[in-house]
Structure 1
Amino acid sequence: MKWIKLMTALIGCTFLASCSSVIKSSRVTVLQENYCAPTIVYTDDTTEEQRAFEDLGVKQKLSPHDYRLASHLGLVSQLAKFINSADPIERLEAKQQIIIRVQLFQTEIDALAAELDCNGERYDQLARVLDAKNGTTNTQLTVASIAIGAAVTLSTALITNDNTNKGLNIAGGVVGTGLGFLLLNPKGKKVELKTNRSLLSNIWFEQNDNLAFPPAVWRVMNDKSFSNEGKLSLIQTLKNRWLFFAFNEEISKKDEELYFGKGGFFKSEGIHLMSDMNNELQATVKTIQQDLRSLIYNVSLLK
């Protein structure tokens, strides 16, 4: 009877130890903090009037694509001064303003890409912590299963009472089945993540009211002419890819809140997905450098 009670207690302990739980450790706490967020707020260094400025001379010298980017950066008025003015000083001042705005835009792209790269690495490290914890749990379950099987075999050999033997075999079978089920269907550990600042959310809901994206970068990403086919913006294209590949073309309200809302409790695969989406967004942001390179090159040819 004592053996049966012991096995029953072992069953309870095994199942309790193997249940899904939230991980709390110093390593997890560090990675939960969004240390990737910038310490400054992005501002728009151009006015609506500067961005709406049109000049036929500049338009004739640049491709529609380059002219469009120049408009988003508020450069058209300065480019017009540079090519139309006969005053060397005015031309020099215009050139300096062009250089400053181009450099600022470049640093904004770099800063945004750095934040996304940092978040991608942060989520990747957090996922590795969860993977390691899950691997340890599975190892413990395997060892426990072997130990229980050996204990039952030894006990039935030593105990002569037939009823006790039957009880031990039944209890051992239940424990073995339970452990096998847990190994086949591991719930996995979880970690809590609060996404108070999420660049992914800006993309998903197509809004930048919090200025998490530099305004000039956001304008370019929201302009259909900067995508390959010109039918959807970079933002819409990226969002559609996430919906298709990550969520099988349909996302529940629960998952939308988890990944693009306030966050919640994530399993390892969810953290891996967050890392992947940050990396994909980073790659999209970096493609704008191709457009900027084209503008810089063609502006350098202006006389």
Structure 2
Amino acid sequence: MRLVGLFLVFVSFILVSCSTVIKEPKVRILKENYCSPTIAYTDYEVEVIDIKKDSVLANQLSSHDYILATHIGIKSLLSKLGESKDPIEKLELKQQINTRILLFQTEIDAVAAELDCNGERFDQLARVLDSKNNKTNTELTVATIALGAAITLSTALIKNDDLNKGINITGGIAGAGLGFLLLNPKGKKVELNNNRNLLRNVWENNNEDIAFPPALWRVMNEKSFSNEGELSLLQTLKNRWVTFAFEDNISKKQEELYFGKGGLFSSDNIHLMSDMNNELQATVRTVQQDLRSLVFNISLLK
């Protein structure tokens, strides 16, 4: 009877352990994308990059600063500033330029804040899964030790050879089951639906949903803002993901998981989501270096 009881306890434990998808309340909270902005980004006037037309301004600014000024919509204002002789008009133009620069800086901060929030959200969710997996592994280890001890004790106390064989066979099956669960590397999972996913915009090179502010998106797709000048900031980042995160071999299933509609995420999957959000945040913030150069050189204009 004791053997039967032990076997029933084991079966119950297996059934509980096989429930791999976590749906508890604190996980549901972390699944919600509370990091997304409550209002949509809007675009402002898009100016044409034409250095010949603004040769005076182009001579006063580097091509790098000139292109950035064009993307954030202040090139025409800077041209008027250089041509104006009226002190009042110059003051008004400077205020408009500063307002537009401040708006662009705010957009950088807003996107970086969303990515930072998502990075922390995924980190916390991964920690919950890690804790669950560690607890499960501990319980499985304890159960394995207890099962082995019970079989040894039963074999020593029971003199019936047929019964001993039955105990050893049953115990062997139970031990194998526990061992298999211990070797299972995936552990608990959580279902995530990525309706809004800034990583997807980068991966697909598509900003039709305006998840990125249009001016920032234009800048990050401008090749001249990368160190080599051959690929844009976003293309360079995507190449790093392919090389380091996916080892130059990403499957359709992985694409759907990370950059598509989502699915069942293991702890490792969520850690990677966090890493990619943090890497994108760092790339967004590098634009501040370009903005700093533009602001400094505008201050030197007469």
If the length of structure 1 is used for normalisation, what is the TM-score? Answer: 0.95
Q: Please, what is the CA RMSD of the aligned residues?
A: 1.4
Name 1:178's counterpart in structure 2: 177
SS in 2 for 1:197: coil
Q: Size of the alignment, in residue pairs?
A: 300
Residue pair 2:41, 2:211 contacting (<8 A) in 1 also: yes
- Counterparts in 2 of 1:265-276, with a 5 A limit? 265-276=264-275
Name 2:152's counterpart in structure 1: 153
Deviant stretches of 4+, over 6 Å: none
Name 1:100's counterpart in structure 2: 99
Residue type at the aligned position of 2:204: F
Name 1:288's counterpart in structure 2: 287
Cα displacement string for residues 206-241 of structure 1 (whole angstroms, at most 9, x for unaligned residues): 010000000010000010000110111111111111
Residue type at the aligned position of 1:73: I
Cα displacement string for residues 45-75 of structure 1 (whole angstroms, at most 9, x for unaligned residues): 22x3x34464111100001101110010111
Residue pair 2:57, 2:79 contacting (<8 A) in 1 also: yes
**Which segment drifts farther, 89-98 or 11-20?**
11-20
Aligned: 1:232 with 2:231:
yes
Cα displacement string for residues 162-202 of structure 1 (whole angstroms, at most 9, x for unaligned residues): 11011111221222222223212243001011111000000
Aligned: 1:138 with 2:134:
no
Aligned-partner Cα distance in 1 for 2:164–2:80: 98
- Counterparts in 2 of 1:1-303, with a 5 A limit? 2-19=1-18, 21-46=20-45, 48=46, 50-52=47-49, 54-303=53-302
Displacement after TM superposition at 1:14 (Å)? 3.5
Aligned-partner Cα distance in 1 for 2:17–2:207: 43
If the length of structure 2 is used for normalisation, what is the TM-score? Answer: 0.95
Aligned-partner Cα distance in 1 for 2:185–2:296: 56
Cα displacement string for residues 63-94 of structure 1 (whole angstroms, at most 9, x for unaligned residues): 11011100101111111111121111111111
Unmatched tracts of structure 2, length 5 or more: none
Cα displacement string for residues 104-137 of structure 1 (whole angstroms, at most 9, x for unaligned residues): 0000000000000000000000000000000010
**Which segment drifts farther, 170-179 or 101-110?**
170-179
Residue pair 1:3, 1:168 contacting (<8 A) in 2 also: no
Task: Give the % identical residues.
Answer: 66
SS in 1 for 2:81: helix
SS in 1 for 2:192: strand
Aligned-partner Cα distance in 1 for 2:252–2:161: 56
